[in-house]
Amino acid sequence: MTDVYITADNIFSPLGFSSAENFAQLKKSVSGIKKQDDATMSEQPFYAALFAKKDHFINDDVQNRFTKFETLLISSISNALQSSGISPQDKKTVLIISTTKGNISLLETETYSKELKKRIALNTSAKLVAQYFHFVNQPIVISNACISGLLAIIAGMRMIQSGQYENAVIAGADVISKFVLSGFQSFQAISEEPCKPFDAARNGITLGEDAGTIILSANKKLSGGIKVSAGSVSNDANHISGPSRTGEELHLAISKAMKDARLSVNEIDFISAHGTATIYNDEMEAKAITLANLQSAPVNSLKGYYGHTLGAAGLIESIVTIHSMKEDLILPTMGFQHPGVTKPVNICTSLHKATLQNCLKTASGFGGCNAAVIFSKQ
């Protein structure tokens, strides 16, 4: 089986516009979550990790031609490509974009028409971004709720392993708008304070916006020292918005990924969980981790730093995992104080050194989807 290497990456977030800037902030326990008072999005103040309205992403000419969603993708991809050695014009390179809502916020500001329907379509944004970088292959869009980022990594890995491509540029982004925020508010799923993953006092998610890019390659010479060992997906078919009550289906994805990577329980050194801080998600993940006999492995959630970034979450949290592996450093779970799940799992509460050879990243989302990806040092 062809090895698939991480060549370059970028996190473009309220914490910084590069992976290095972001990881430096995380090590100092800096969170991008702040109290927002914006009547155009919500009548009541809310907590979220948002870009400042004055934030300038790229030059005016480009920024004026694209939506905020597309601008975030372009900014993140540009940064990652600089250090990758990969050319978008290579016929062996594919662009994969992950998102949940894309340009849905245009419904709030524009009059609905056939033209707007086409402009909002995810394939329209993908083509515009691909054209900006002169990708020669048709871009691929992956939108499967909150596992979109991880599923995009798995898709890129499999395309390279099958010989379809040698390189995959995988980028994800989502923008928080009134449409998105009000949707989660209607579920009564938004926390009234910064989220507390796995904590006994958790009461909902905090949203966030950013973009992330991971570039994969079969070329070992372009490797940054980490590879994608395996990935798997499952669906629990429990409910349109409520996750499995048993964790068996996420456990299935974890077990399949471990089997494909030929790893035993004792060889998983760390788990980067989805950890949304909702009552049912964290409980389900704890059960799945226990079913996989991984309850002793250190676990963290990054939602307390970034909020839930939807289609970008799997990507940026994978990138943080990759940088954690490079520095053999585990980040604490911001907001966690007291265990709040029925199955005891090893939630990280402090920044500490550890030997990280193989790390597991999990995600789950609406519609019962689950994903698991394993990253390994070469």
Give Cα separations from 337 to 20, 25, 270, 333 (angstroms): 28, 21, 19, 9
Give residue for tokens 């010989």.
163
User: Tell me, what DSSP letter sits at residue 220?
Assistant: G
Superfamily of the domain at 4-222: Thiolase/Chalcone synthase (3.40.47.10)
Beta bridge partners of 13: 16
4-222 matches 226-377 in fold:
yes
Give Cα separations from 179 to 7, 108, 184, 195, 240 (angstroms): 35, 8, 9, 20, 19
CATH class entry, domain 226-377: alpha beta
User: Tell me, what DSSP letter sits at residue 144?
Assistant: B
- What pTM was estimated for this model as a whole? 0.97
Helix (H) / strand (E) containing 167:
strand 167-174
Give Cα separations from 217 to 4, 16, 21, 233 (angstroms): 6, 25, 24, 21
Helix (H) / strand (E) containing 257:
helix 248-261
Query: For the chain, how are helix, strand and coil distributed in percent, rounded to 5?
Result: 35, 25, 40
- Please, are residues 49 and 206 in contact by the beta-carbon 8 Å criterion? yes
Give residue for tokens 């990924």.
257
| Residue of 165, 10, 1, 142 whose CA lies nearest to 92 | 165
For 322-338, what is each residue's pLDDT tens digit? Answer: 999 999 999 999 999 99
Q: pLDDT 10s per residue in the chain (378 long)?
A: 799 999 999 999 999 999 999 999 999 999 999 999 999 999 999 999 999 887 767 766 766 789 999 999 999 999 999 989 999 999 999 999 999 999 999 999 899 999 999 999 999 999 999 999 999 999 999 999 999 999 999 999 999 999 999 999 999 999 999 999 999 999 899 999 999 999 999 999 999 999 999 999 999 999 999 999 999 999 998 888 888 899 999 999 999 999 999 999 999 999 999 999 999 999 999 999 999 999 999 999 999 999 999 999 999 999 999 999 999 999 999 999 999 999 999 999 999 999 999 999 999 999 999 999 999 998
Q: What's the number of CA atoms in the CB half-sphere (13 Å) around residue 116?
A: 10
Sign of CA dihedral 73, 250, 259, 268: positive
Beta bridge partners of 16: 13
| Token couple for 318 | 């994978």
For 122-138, what is each residue's pLDDT tens digit? Answer: 999 999 999 999 999 99
Domain ranges in the chain?
4-222, 226-377
Q: One-letter amino acid identity for 167?
A: N
